[in-house]
Amino acid sequence: MQHLRIGITGGMGAGKSTVCKIFSQIGISIYDADSRAKWLMNNNPELKEAIRKSFGWDSYTRKDDLNRDYLAKVVFNNEEKLKNLNSIVHPAVMKDFELWTQEHKDEPYSLKEAALLFESDSYKNLHKVIVINSPIETRIERVVKRDHVKREDVLKRIENQSTDRERMEKADWIIYNDGINSLIEQAMKIHNQILEIREQGTIPFKV
């Protein structure tokens, strides 16, 4: 029977990781695209070479670790350079995800958690997508507290992501992280629906 690839995304501070923990607790494997991207940028020789070529030797420290502060400053207010960085990193993550998926192909389904699922077009090799929606002010407060950054910086970062409306239009399921609706109940309902869909036969990608 088909292994389904389910994407899970949402705006910064929407609560993606919290929802993923719920799915993880019921035995669903999670591919954290953002964490894997950071790992690959530190450990994949080809990717490191491409980053150095585009952004200079200062992209890495003397210990050969990714210089995140330097890279963040370079791309923060430069849309062209941010697109360039994403065009280098996203293909490496896609390749890594394909290998990871093969390792989990005997499971009913797995989740791919990614902040830029739609922006990177990586949703096109997934079967369905879950979007986490949360009030904008709540999201800003969470990120300010979590990352110890200024409100203005959070707003700038949010501007580089799709809007809630754009994400919701492409969603197959929406989980509302608003403090009113139960996250566990919403997640379990979607889990059961995914298993039902899988029983119905082959599902195409979202392309």
pLDDT tens digits, 82-130:
889 999 999 999 999 999 999 999 999 999 999 888 888 889 999 999 9
**pTM for the predicted model, two decimal places:** 0.86
Specify whether the CB–CB gap between 51 and 92 falls below 8 A: no
Q: Which residues of 89-116 are buried (b: 16+ CB within 10 A; e: fewer)?
A: bbebbeebbeeebeebeeebbbbbbbbb
Give the whole-angstrom CA distance, residue 86 versus residue 91: 8
Residue 107 has what pLDDT? Answer: 97
Contacts of residue 148, Cβ cutoff 8 Å, sequence gap at least 6: none
* Residue linked to tokens 């890594």: 96
CATH number of the domain located at residue range(s) 38-106 in this protein: 3.40.50.300
Which of the 8 DSSP states describes residue 199?
H
| φ and ψ of 181, to 5 deg | -85, 140
pLDDT of residue 137: 79
pLDDT attached to residue 158? 67
Q: What is the dihedral of CA 37, 41, 43, 47, to 10 degrees?
A: 110
Structure tokens at 195: 């298993």
pLDDT at 162: 66
Q: What pLDDT shows up at residue 157?
A: 72
Query: Residue 153: pLDDT above 80?
Result: no
**Stretch(es) of the chain classified as CATH 3.40.50.300:** 1-28+111-207, 38-106
CATH superfamily of 1-28+111-207: P-loop containing nucleotide triphosphate hydrolases (3.40.50.300)
| Cβ 23 vs Cβ 191: under 8 Å | yes
Query: Average pLDDT in the 135-155 region?
Result: 79
Return the pLDDT at 139: 80
Q: What is the mean pLDDT of the chain?
A: 91
